Copies of this chain bind each other. A is one copy, B any other.
Amino acid sequence: MAYRWLVAAVPVVGIIVLIAGAGRAADTELRTQALSLFRPLVIDPSSASDALASRRVGLGKLLYFEPRVSADGTVSCARCHQPALYGTDALPRSIGAGQRLHPRHAPTVLNAAIQFVQHWRGDRNSVEDQAMQALIAPPSYGNLNYESAIAKIRAIPAYTSLFAQAFPGPADPITPEHWGQAIGAYVRTLVTPAPFDRFLAGDDAAVSTSAQKGLRAFMQIGCAGCHNGPGIGGTMYQKFGLREDYWTATASRTIDKGRFDVTKDPADMYVFKVPMLRNVAVTAPYFHDGGVATLPEAVRVMARVQLGRKLTDAELEDLVAFLESLTGRLPEDFTTSPILPASAQAVVPRP
């Protein structure tokens, strides 16, 4: 429960040396190239012994599943990032408090913490920042302000001591910042090592031959130029539609100007954070507006609008096989529901 998964701090070159002796020459070359672009997800055992971190993760898990803090009582992190749907809601665009439609598609929460920024336009610094601001975002929790959100947390008696235990010191530990930090601590544990990580670590049999061919193509035709790092994405911004306007291929109903609307810098027109591809095969639909329903179609669109390339059926099949090797195992602490504290004390107050 208290394990924290972190991106490997092991120098990449060390891993390469370690596994250089394994596998056939072709596999080794492929792996060496892959390790120069990606990173395996590994467990960091050092935080398992930290009682305070454990309490924060435990509180964060409760808050993640807690709908009573939202404006209409129906929105928790788990509404748009459901365990049963690999940390998504399977909708093109999420629906928040008061049936308000979110402007963009909700990506999976799994591995989200390892990205350099959060949200499609990078306007959230971290998962902690995202969780905190969600409290007052109209299409999310929809609270009018932080005060009303905090009042809803306080109304559930057990949270007073749970926050105090997770954030010892301040007289009043129930704050928006601590809400964000607790949820962030939990979300940072939601990491999903996949067959691809086992392949990177030296196990040739972890992924199919088709997936290995797909990995090679992914690096050769240019996908990995943007989709790289431990998340196979989530490391940079990029214009969506380098070779032709994205909406010509996605049939998007509205044209989203992306990061331009945040920075007003013309260089940011149609620029989005490059999404991670971990678990992409099980987290349809695709793109910032969820406008494409299937993974093969999404791959075709990307090859066309980013690389000006029409994929052969064989290339497409191999690329999809590679992307399927990024589907990881869900953490047990994600698929087991917490039991939330009661809304009110059942104990009768003594006169």
Interface flags, A338-350, vs B, CB<8A=1, else 0 = 1110111111111
Contact partner, A350, options B65, B99, B313, B336, Cβ 8 Å: B313
Instruction: Check A255 for interface membership: any CB of B closer than 8 A.
Output: no
In chain A, positions 313-351 with a C-beta closer than 8 Å to chain B are 313, 316-317, 320, 323-324, 330, 334-340, 342-351
From known contacts A345-B294, A346-B324, A348-B296, infer whether A338 and B285 are also in contact, taking CB-CB under 8 Å: no
Q: Are B84 and A79 in contact (CB under 8 A)?
A: no
In chain A, positions 28-87 with a C-beta closer than 8 Å to chain B are 65-68, 72-74, 78-79, 82-86
Contact partner, A73, options B84, B89, B339, Cβ 8 Å: B89
Q: Are A91 and B74 in contact (CB under 8 A)?
A: yes
Nearest CB in chain B: distance from A192 CB, A: 12
Contact partner, A346, options B82, B296, B340, Cβ 8 Å: B296
Residue in B closest to A74 when the chains form the complex, CB atoms: B95
Given contacts A65-B82, A84-B340, A334-B337, 6 further A-B contacts (CB under 8 A): A65-B84, A84-B337, A294-B344, A296-B348, A313-B348, A320-B346
Report which A residues bind B (CB closer than 8 A). Answer: 65-68, 72-74, 78-79, 82-86, 89-91, 95, 98-99, 281-282, 284-285, 293-296, 313, 316-317, 320, 323-324, 330, 334-340, 342-351
Could you list some 6 contacts between A and B, CB below 8 A?
A68-B90, A90-B343, A282-B346, A294-B345, A323-B346, A336-B336
